[in-house]
Amino acid sequence: MKKRLNRYTLILLTAVLAGCHQELTDYHTVARVTLGLPDTINVIRIQGTMTLQSLNTTTTTSTADMNGHTFETTVLRGAYKVDVNGMVRYTGQDGATRTRHYRAHTDYTPFADKPLSEAVLPITLLEE
């Protein structure tokens, strides 16, 4: 009798514990930001730093690792403000080579999809 009751108790406990809240641990995703380059330029070399600021906590992270004209970094999933600053060397339609600063910005972009969240940011070439 005692043994059976013990067993029932154990089963009951397990059932209760199994109904416990599962931790949601899908914390990070890869944020891939591709710079939108104007058609009129032919890029020779581009570099820059992308800064992501979480809209919820205002924490910032940055990366200067560019692959072509794309940044990839692992971030905590959520909503972000994105700023990119850098320089690009290109040949224009007239064939002349120029080096100019550029900037890209968005006030809001969500990076929540797993395993990859993508965004495209058009660049603005600054006067030189």
Partner 1 sequence: MMTSVSLAAATPDSVLTEHQSVWRLQDTDTWKNPALHGQAFKTDYTQLVLDLHYTDQTEAFVLQKGTGGTLYEIEADTYLHLSDHSTVWGKASYMTGKSRHITWSSVSDYELLEPYILADTLGGNTERERYVFEGGYATRLNRLLLGGEMLFRAEHEYRTTDPRMRAIVTDLTLRTGAAYETATYRWGAAAEANIYKQTDNVTFFRETGVIPEFQMTGLGAVYVRFSGEVNNLYFNGGGTQLYLSTQPRNGRGLFAHITVGEHRYERIAASLNSLPLTKLYREEAKLQTGWWKDGKTHWAVYADAQYTRRLGDENMVGSSLSNNYPILTTLTMYKNTLIDASMNVVYGQRRHTDWHIALKAGYTENKETYVEPERRQESRRLYGRLGAQHIAAVGHKGVLTCALTATCLRNLDSRLSIPVLNTEAAVVKMLNHNFRYLKADYTVVDTQVRYDHPVGTGRMALFGIVGGGVTFCSEGEQEQQLTMTLGISF
Partner 2 sequence: MWSLALLSLGLSVTSCDSDDDPVIINDPVTLSLEMPLNLENVEVTNSNITLTNVNANQTRVLVNAIQKTANGFVATFNEVEEGTYDLHATGELAFTINGVAGTSKFEVSQENITLSRTATAMKVTINTFTAKGGFVISEVFFTGTTTPEGKQYSNDQYVIITNNSDVTLYADSIAFLESSFLTVNNYEYVPDISKDTMAVAAVYMIPGNGTSVPVEPGKSITLAVNAINHLEGNANSIDLRDADFEFYDISSNPNYNDVDNTNVPNLDKWFCYTASLFSMHNRGFKSMAIAKMKETKDNWLEKYAYNGKYIQEFNGTAYDMEVSKTYKVPMSWVIDGINLSVEEEWQWNVLPANIDSGWTYCGKTLNDKTRYGKAVIRKTGSDGKYVDTNNSTNDFIPEAKPSKIQN
The Cα 60–Cα 42 span in angstroms is: 32
Q: What are phi and psi of 114, to 5 degrees?
A: -115, 150
Q: Number of residues interacting with partner 2: please give it, by CB under 8 A.
A: 23
Contact pattern from residue 48 through residue 87 relative to partner 1, giving x for each residue in contact according to CB under 8 A and a dash for the rest:
-------xxxxx----------------xxxx--------
For the CB of residue 20, give the shortest distance to partner 2 in the complex, in Å.
14
Contact pattern from residue 54 through residue 93 relative to partner 2, giving x for each residue in contact according to CB under 8 A and a dash for the rest:
-----xxxxxxx-------------------xxxxx----
Dihedral sign from CA coordinates of 69, 103, 124, 89: negative
The yes or no reply on residue 16 touching partner 1 (CB under 8 A) is: yes
Q: Which residue reads 């906590």 in tokens? A: 57
Q: What angle do CA 95, 105, 122 make, to 5 degrees?
A: 40
The yes or no reply on residue 116 touching partner 1 (CB under 8 A) is: no
Region of 18-26, 34-42, 96-104, 110-118 interacting with partner 2 (CB under 8 A): 96-104
Binding footprint of partner 1 on the chain (CB under 8 A): 1, 5, 9, 12-13, 16-17, 19-21, 23-27, 55-59, 76-79, 108, 110, 112
